[in-house]
């Protein structure tokens, strides 16, 4: 009898994947998924299958594709199903993944997947392990579930599982009974099965032949051939025909069909994996016609195959057949040895079977106890839920009462709010009137500010003109009276102080100009090295004797888009301050180009008296001077910081430098 154990999961899932899918997905993604599945799931026993399945599961969730999720979960289940190692942990894993796949099937309303996982994985797993009682218990549960769901296909699946269980236990008539019930459902409701009904017709016919009822076999075999869809279906039915004719003593017809089957195996290489079915019938044929040597030759070949894969069960079964043949050949002693070996094996198997049965019954009892505990927990849960419902109803009533009270006070409050609203409207009108007056005052203030700015600009311009003349003529006097040291010194004092006064006027003019939010600097090409040289030349008079001025350009030539006049103005202020407060040592000018940030960083470092940490931010305020007796207005750094910000950068004091003062001036490289 053909044992209908599960076919490779890859074939089953690829055939059924489109029917299981609940979502329309992109065809390109389907191709990628199928290619990934084909290349990574050749062997489910491979430990990497679990990682591959996780990747497949993420793909399915990302594309909201139930078919891919099913493939991934099925692959994890089949890893434990086909992997022969693991013991109890393997059983636990199979049970866990069957339950997960069943839960997923229910969530997507896929009854076929639900019962496939139950029958073809969990029940068949127990069958493979020889745990027939557990398999029978699960089948009864599945049968009850199928009846509850009123699913005729799933009921037929249950009959198929029962037939397999009793067939594995050697109870052929009982197995036949459930096969016929499955066939009856198939014919009555025209059910579609994944494995096709033709095997059931063939297996039932074979049992009729083996139990001495060959007259019932032809009708079933005709239906098996009628419903056959593959060469394997057809050759399976024909091999039973061989056994049928052998039971009738018609060896000629049996040999003719046997040769037809042999040719089918030759013509179709795919049938080679099922060649052992042909060999079993061939051995039976040769034994029937008395050609024991050929039968033994085929039998020895089969036994060698089972020895190579260490299949003791199948090997002992063939040894029993060999003993029967040797007995018929009158080789009683050799046959007796094989019978003795077979009986010893059978005795051990019975002992193991009894131990398994005891363990299975204990497991079933534990399951029943767990179910009883589950029922009790559910009952307690229902009682607790009922109690919670009562509490919720009580709370709802309380909330309703509170809500009514709230409505009452809300209505009362509404009257007060209406009265207050009227008061607010009156006050709001007063505020609107005040706002109009404030706007007028603001306009007057802005006009005054503009007038002040214009006044400062005009005054600066008017004062700057005579000052320029004073500076020019003082320089001329110094040249004319160069031989008179006293006159030259007075002229120098006039020049210096005129320059300071002129700078004050410049600073006042700059403040009135750059503080205007609408004012923008003109941007154009700027030669940075030229800016350095110009600023040094303008501040020479402030550098004390003995102080060395160093210039370290990082590039021979550097041109950026900015405002050269304003950059020189900031550098001039920084160098002038450094010259005032550095009596010995050096003043160093340098710059760095930060390409990624698009920034140019200037550094002016001196070895002077330095700036106290608590004053390093105050010096950037208007009219702030750390030394009240030093020359200057206290506006230079204030103006310089505003210029730096308008150039897209900043101006700060380096707090980490303690050997004097270091100013860091940054501008954006446009």
Please compute the mean of the pLDDT values over residues 429-458 and round it to a whole number.
69
Q: If DSSP codes are grouped into helix, strand and coil, which group holds residue 482? A: coil
The rounded distance, in Å, linking the Cα atoms of 183 and 204 is 9
Question: What is the residue extent of each domain of the chain?
Answer: 7-109, 520-668
- The predicted pLDDT at position 4 comes to 35
Beta bridge pairs of residue 661: 606
What is the DSSP annotation of 196-250? -THHHHHHHHHHHHHTT-GGGHHHHHHHHHHT--SHHHHHHHHHHHHHHHHHHT-
User: Nearest-5° angle of CA 467, CA 469, CA 472?
Assistant: 110
Matching residue, tokens 């003593």: 249
Taking 90 as the threshold, does the pLDDT of residue 256 lie above it? yes
User: Could you tell me if 639 and 510 are in contact, meaning their C-beta atoms sit under 8 angstroms apart?
Assistant: yes
The rounded distance, in Å, linking the Cα atoms of 534 and 539 is 9
- The predicted pLDDT at position 8 comes to 40
Q: Which of 39-43, 96-100, 543-547 has the lowest mean pLDDT?
A: 39-43
User: Could you tell me if 541 and 507 are in contact, meaning their C-beta atoms sit under 8 angstroms apart?
Assistant: no
Please compute the mean of the pLDDT values over residues 196-223 and round it to a whole number.
91
Taking 90 as the threshold, does the pLDDT of residue 254 lie above it? yes
**How does DSSP classify residue 555?**
S
For residue 491 the two structure tokens come to: 């002229």
Interacting residues of 131 by C-beta distance below 8 A, sequence separation 6+: 356, 359, 360
Interacting residues of 116 by C-beta distance below 8 A, sequence separation 6+: 12, 157, 194
Beta bridge pairs of residue 668: 599
Q: What is the pLDDT of residues 576-630, one digit of tens each?
A: 889 888 989 999 999 999 988 999 999 999 999 999 988 888 888 888 877 766 6
Q: What is the pLDDT of residues 169-180, one digit of tens each?
A: 888 889 999 999
Of residues 579 and 47, more confidence is placed in 579
Phi, psi of 621 (to 5 degrees): -85, 165
Residue 519: which pLDDT band, with cuts at 50, 70 and 90? confident
- The predicted pLDDT at position 286 comes to 93
Residue 258: which pLDDT band, with cuts at 50, 70 and 90? very high
Percent of the chain with pLDDT over 90: 31
- The predicted pLDDT at position 490 comes to 73
Beta bridge pairs of residue 192: none
The terminus-to-terminus CA distance of the chain in angstroms comes to 88
Taking 80 as the threshold, does the pLDDT of residue 87 lie above it? no
Matching residue, tokens 């702030």: 624
Taking 90 as the threshold, does the pLDDT of residue 208 lie above it? yes
Residue 574: which pLDDT band, with cuts at 50, 70 and 90? very high
Is the C-alpha dihedral spanning 57, 63, 64, 67 positive or negative?
Answer: negative
Residue 517: which pLDDT band, with cuts at 50, 70 and 90? low
The rounded distance, in Å, linking the Cα atoms of 457 and 593 is 37
Please compute the mean of the pLDDT values over residues 214-224 and round it to a whole number.
94
User: Could you tell me if 79 and 44 are in contact, meaning their C-beta atoms sit under 8 angstroms apart?
Assistant: yes
Beta bridge pairs of residue 667: 600
The mean pLDDT value of the chain amounts to 82
User: Nearest-5° angle of CA 637, CA 638, CA 643?
Assistant: 90
What is the DSSP annotation of 31-53? HHHHHHHHHH-S-TTSTTHHHHH
Residue 13: which pLDDT band, with cuts at 50, 70 and 90? very low
Taking 50 as the threshold, does the pLDDT of residue 248 lie above it? yes
Angle at which helix 66-82 crosses helix 49-62, to 10 degrees, equals 170
Q: Which of 43-57, 102-116, 407-421, 556-570 has the lowest mean pLDDT?
A: 407-421
Residue 403: which pLDDT band, with cuts at 50, 70 and 90? confident
Asked: is 520-668 a CATH 3.30.565.10 domain? The reply is: yes
Number of other CB atoms surrounding residue 200 within 10 Å: 27
| The model's pTM | 0.49
Residue 244: which pLDDT band, with cuts at 50, 70 and 90? very high
User: Could you tell me if 646 and 563 are in contact, meaning their C-beta atoms sit under 8 angstroms apart?
Assistant: no
- The predicted pLDDT at position 366 comes to 55
Please compute the mean of the pLDDT values over residues 423-451 and round it to a whole number.
74
User: Could you tell me if 215 and 231 are in contact, meaning their C-beta atoms sit under 8 angstroms apart?
Assistant: no
Phi, psi of 128 (to 5 degrees): -60, -35
Residue 424: which pLDDT band, with cuts at 50, 70 and 90? confident
- The predicted pLDDT at position 27 comes to 78
Question: Comparing C-alpha atoms, which of 239, 216, 237, 240 is closest to residue 226?
Answer: 237
Please compute the mean of the pLDDT values over residues 418-429 and round it to a whole number.
80
């Amino acid at each position: 009898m053909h044992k209908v154990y599960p076919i490779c999961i890859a074939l089953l899932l690829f055939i059924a994947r489109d029917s299981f899918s609940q979502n329309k997905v992109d065809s390109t993604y389907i191709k990628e998924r199928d290619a990934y599945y084909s290349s990574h799931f050749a062997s489910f026993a491979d430990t990497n299958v679990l990682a591959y399945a996780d990747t497949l599961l993420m793909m399915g969730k990302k594309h909201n594709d139930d078919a891919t999720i099913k493939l991934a979960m099925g692959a994890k289940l089949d890893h434990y199903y086909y992997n022969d190692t693991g013991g109890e942990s393997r059983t636990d894993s199979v049970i866990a993944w069957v339950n997960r796949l069943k839960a997923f099937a229910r969530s997507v309303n896929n009854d076929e997947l639900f019962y496939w996982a139950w029958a073809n994985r969990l029940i068949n797993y127990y069958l493979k392990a020889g745990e027939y009682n557990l398999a029978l218990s699960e089948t009864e549960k599945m049968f009850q579930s199928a009846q509850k769901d009123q699913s005729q296909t799933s009921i037929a699946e249950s009959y198929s599982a029962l037939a397999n269980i009793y067939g594995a236990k050697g109870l052929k008539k009982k197995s036949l009974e459930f096969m016929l019930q499955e066939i009856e459902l198939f014919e009555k409701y025209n059910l579609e099965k994944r494995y096709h009904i033709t095997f059931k017709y063939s297996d039932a016919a074979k049992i009729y032949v083996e139990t001495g009822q060959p007259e019932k076999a032809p009708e079933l075999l005709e239906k098996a051939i009628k419903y056959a869809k593959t060469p394997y279906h057809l050759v399976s039915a024909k091999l039973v025909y061989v056994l049928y004719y052998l039971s009738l003593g018609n060896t000629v017809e049996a040999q003719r069909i046997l040769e037809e089957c042999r040719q089918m195996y030759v013509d179709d290489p795919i049938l080679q994996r099922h060649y052992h079915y042909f060999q079993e019938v061939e051995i039976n044929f040769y034994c029937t016609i008395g050609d024991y040597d050929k039968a033994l030759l085929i039998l020895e070949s089969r036994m060698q195959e089972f020895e190579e894969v260490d299949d003791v069960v199948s090997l002992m079964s063939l040894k029993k057949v060999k003993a029967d043949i040797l007995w018929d050949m009158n080789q009683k002693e050799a046959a007796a040895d094989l019978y003795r070996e077979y009986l010893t094996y059978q005795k051990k198997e019975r002992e193991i079977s009894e131990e398994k049965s005891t363990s299975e019954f204990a497991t079933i009892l534990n399951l029943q106890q767990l179910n009883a505990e589950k029922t009790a927990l559910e009952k307690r849960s229902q009682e607790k839920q009922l109690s919670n419902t009562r509490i919720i109803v009580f709370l709802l009533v309380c909330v309703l009462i509170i809500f009514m009270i709230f409505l009452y006070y809300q209505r009362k409050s509404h009257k007060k709010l209406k009265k207050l609203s009227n008061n607010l409207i009156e006050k709001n009108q007063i505020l609107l009137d005040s706002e109009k007056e404030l706007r007028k005052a603001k306009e007057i203030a802005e006009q005054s500010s503009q007038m002040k700015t214009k006044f400062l600009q005009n005054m600066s311009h008017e004062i700057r003109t005579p000052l320029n003349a004073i500076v020019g003529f003082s320089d001329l006097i110094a040249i004319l009276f160069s031989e008179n040291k006293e006159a030259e010194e007075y002229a120098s004092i006039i020049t210096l102080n005129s320059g300071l006064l002129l700078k004050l006027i410049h600073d006042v003019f700059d403040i009135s100009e750059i503080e205007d939010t609408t004012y923008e600097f003109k941007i154009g090409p700027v030669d940075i090295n030229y800016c350095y040289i110009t600023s040094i030349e303008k501040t020479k008079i402030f550098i004390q004797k003995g102080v060395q001025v160093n210039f370290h350009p990082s590039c021979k030539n550097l041109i950026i888009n900015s405002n050269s006049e304003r950059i020189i103005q900031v550098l001039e202020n920084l160098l002038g301050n450094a010259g005032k407060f550095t009596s010995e040592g050096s003043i160093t000018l340098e710059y760095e180009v930060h390409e990624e940030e698009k920034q140019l960083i200037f550094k002016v470092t001196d070895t002077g008296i330095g700036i106290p940490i608590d004053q390093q931010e105050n010096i950037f305020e208007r009219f702030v001077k750390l030394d009240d007796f030093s020359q200057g207005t206290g506006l230079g750094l204030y103006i310089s910081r505003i210029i730096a910000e308008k150039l897209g950068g900043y101006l700060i004091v380096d707090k980490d430098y303690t050997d004097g003062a270091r100013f860091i001036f940054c501008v954006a490289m446009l």
